[in-house]
Amino acid sequence: MPPCPKNMSEPEYAALLFMKTCTSERTVSYVDQGPRPNRISTYGRGFALHAGTPTHRPRKAEESETHGMKNSVYALRRDVDNIIDIRNQFLQARERKQLEKWENCTRENVVLTRLMSNLIIEYLDGVEAAHEEELNEIKRKRQEEITQRLERLGWTDDDMNFYQGDNKAWRALVDVPKPLTEKIWKNLLPKLTPLLEENRERNNIYNAKKRRIERRACVDQFLMNMRYSEHPFASILRELGVGVPPAPNLGLLAARPFSGLDRGFMMGLKPGLALENPFPKTQTALRWDCLNDLSEVDMSIQEVEAKLEERKEQIQANVFEWRQEVENGLVKRLGFEKDEVGDDVVLLVNGSTDSSASLSPNARLLLRADTIFISPLSGHDCLHESADFPYSKDEEEICLDSIARDIETERLVKLLLRDLEMSDVAYIELQEMGRRFTCGRCSYKVAHSWDEMVVHYTQELDVWDEQENCQSAYSLRYPVVYRNPHDLKPTGNSQSLVLTLPEAPGKVSEVAGSFSRHCYLCEGTGRSAGPLPVRVLCGHLQDCHSIADPVEYIHYGREYYHGLGDTWHKKWDEYHDRLQSAKEASSSSANV
């Protein structure tokens, strides 16, 4: 313990260190009523006064308040009053030198007091830490002894392991800094027993759920292995030279076996080819009689694995039956009743039916490129998703009533395939070709995948239908030519709808780096059109407006059309007036 300061008596010093109340001013205090080291720190700083001590008396406080300042300076009120009186005496006597000497002496005392305060704080911190360690040791011994006694009574570590949200009552009884005596134990045991019983019940429920998840994960892995080892369309994949998709790393999936989002991310569900093995979800398969007990009956993982091997043939039969049921349901959505699809359904892969001959008529029909479904609820094309959507985030059973035949897109696809002379081709073959398709009606050629090609035509036709009857707010003396280059109606000089490239480019054709401009012919006639790169825009002007040599600010420009007011319409008419005059002058010269 630091020695007693010279300006304090030993009783005062002892009271300062060990009493919980201020002995100086009883109820009137500015000290913080916090833990002891903080209180002593406040007292220690309370001896220190700034040299510029105010001459007015501080506000009297009947109760202590925490001021919230990190380095607040406190003082005992009697000391403040004493210092103010002494300072006023020097000022009234006009003894400036004596006042300065007194202030210097006071500052020295303040420095010494602060040093002493720091020593006291260090001492009390050490005492507090030692006392805390002593209490912790008492708690530890009490906990050990309680644990040993409970173990002798048949309670396990799991029974005494409370989760954070359930341990409040347990800690209030066990985590106490009091030695465990026989009397205390006699009173404590009846209070601990119901807590242990409740916790055992909670743990039993949790462990049962955990074991159930592990059993379902085991079934999930077994079905996943089956799915990737027995692909029903392996002959088609081999014909295309792409091979059967490899099985995923099942170890990564074991932790959360039923999270569709996680599984989709880990497995890369769209690796480039969308010909997955139509396979039931694990939660669907677990409702089968041959698998239901493996989920609901408590057994070891070894027993689950053994039963799965025993029932493998039955599981395979159920998978086949499920696949047939889904295929029948999808074919019914196409408008065919059961057994209406005959063996005459053709599915070509590399121009041959050899790889698809062993498939059922329903499977051949569903794998054709011109078989397309749409979801009426979302409006999204869902043609080439796997029939069972196996890794949808929605864990509910798929309802085939939510999809319908997309007749409009089917009509478009049939026309595109007819142009390619591939009417009976499998969709997987078109997908395998990659970006080897381009629009036969666009002057600016861009390489597309098959899906992108279909979307391109769909969007162009939708835009034409929406804007076909648009009219300008201004009247033009020279009408704007506007035609639909993507019109599907055949004419005598119609170009091909789609062309194939000899090989797919290294990457998608880009138009980045070219400036974007607005088509004034579209915007000026009331049609909505966004800015396009110049190279694409020139192709648009030629295809849609028959403008082979476009002129900037007449046919296109940097500014948005609506910012031009009626300026563009005047320029348009004046431009054609000049063309007309030049044409007439040329005709007159020819006649002369």
Read off the pLDDT of residues 388-431 as tens digits, 9 standing for 90 and up: 333 333 444 567 777 888 999 999 999 999 999 999 999 999 99
Q: What is the DSSP letter of 499?
A: E
Rounded CA-CA distance 330/367 in Å is 11
Percent share of the chain, pLDDT over 70: 75
Tokens of 160: 């005494």
Backbone angles phi, psi at 556, to 5 degrees: -155, 170
Rounded CA-CA distance 391/256 in Å is 13
Confidence (pLDDT) at 192: 94
Is the overall model pTM greater than 0.75, yes or no?
no
Question: Could you tell me the residue ranges of all domains in the chain?
Answer: 10-151, 207-413, 436-591
Rounded CA-CA distance 585/591 in Å is 10
Cα dihedral sign, 75-79-81-82: negative
Which positions ≥6 away from 500 have C-beta within 8 Å?
420, 433, 436, 437, 438
- What b/e readout covers 523-558, taking b as 16+ CB neighbours within 10 angstroms? bbbebebeebbbebbbbbbbbbbebeebeeebbbbe
Tokens of 194: 């119901």
Confidence (pLDDT) at 509: 46
Confidence tier at 382 by pLDDT (50, 70, 90) = very low
The average confidence (pLDDT) of the chain is 78
- What b/e readout covers 255-276, taking b as 16+ CB neighbours within 10 angstroms? eebeebeebeeebebeeeeebb
Backbone angles phi, psi at 266, to 5 degrees: -70, -35
